[in-house]
Amino acid sequence: MSANRLIDMYAVQVFIAVAEEGSMSGAAARMGISQSGVSQMVRQLEDELGVVLVDRTTRPMALTAFGVALRNRGSVLSEELSHLKAQVIDAGRGVNPDLRIGLVDSFAATCGSVFTRQLLGKVAQLSIRTGLSPQQGESLLRRDLDLIVTSDPLMDANDVIRYRLFSEKYFVITPKQLRSDINTVDDVRALANVLPVVRFNRMSQVGLQIERHLRSLNVRVPNRLELDNADALTSMVAEGIGWAVTSPMCFLQASAWVDNVTAHLTPDLQLERSLYLVARRNEYSAFFADACETARDVIRHSFLPRLKALDKGVEALIQFDEGDAREYF
């Protein structure tokens, strides 16, 4: 089969009918064509692929390993094709098609369920994937995702649109039993000399950002413990293993442990991050605007009240942009 020649999807659907019915005659009745027509299409597929799909020496008929592979993958493609027409018609009527959305872990843990529930009524089907910001950004650019909530603004990417949801300042947390005030950067340097730092994984956007900033402040500590998520990081601090730098959203993600740590809102570390909604430019533009408003509403009316309920004052470190926060590139 030529590398540039596409497989006849109708022939694939006929083959799937053969595989599911267990016979050429059953497939013919299901597809409304003659048994010889079914046999001819299966032979055509075998010739084009250069493999044998059906073992015709057995009774009942059996699929070869090649046939099983085509049946499994072909069934998925056939189902997608069956929905394609309806999705195109729905899009013309203003109904949003299937969407794949990536959420950075901290947003997924604190706002994901509310955000998803509000979006479900606006799309035909919704797929949610969580993970680290660099992974989400790569998936968006590969077109594996349609929309992402991320701390990575993808500044080097072309043809994207981003909307800043909010910004948050980082702060220091220490074990509750540590009776020391952390009021200045010098206090942070002194803390680093007596207690290990608990780091976010430096493969993550937040971990890399904090690591670089601590170096710029001349806060240098050995790399002894890295963790992938805020819940685990805060639990280590609560158990007295070390201290850490975190953000309000990550702090809420670890709400089960916050009563056993002290939040030091001063000094101002001069370090913050923003969370963005990012999509490819000129794709699902109307839905993107709607998703921006939905995400902002979730943050204001779900995330912030729960952050205040922690009674640690960290909600003061959240800042919203005034006016339109969309950025086009």
Q: Is the pLDDT of residue 222 over 80?
A: no
- Which region among 92-106, 235-249, 257-271 has the lowest average model confidence (pLDDT)? 92-106
pLDDT at 92 (0 to 100): 55
Domains of the chain: 7-90 (1.10.10.10), 96-166+273-309 (3.40.190.10), 170-269 (3.40.190.10)
Mean pLDDT of all residues belonging to the chain: 87
SS3 content of the chain, % helix, strand, coil (to 5): 50, 20, 30
For 176-217, write each residue's pLDDT tens digit.
Answer: 999 888 999 999 999 998 899 999 988 888 999 999 999 999
Q: Are 106 and 249 in contact (CB under 8 A)?
A: yes
Which burial class, exposed, middle or buried, applies to 128 when counting CB atoms under 10 A from its CB (0-12, 13-18, 19+)? middle
Whole-prediction pTM value? 0.70
Pick from 224, 202, 228: nearest CA to 213:
202
pLDDT at 124 (0 to 100): 74
Per DSSP, 299 falls in state I
Q: What are phi and psi of 124, to 5 degrees?
A: -70, -40
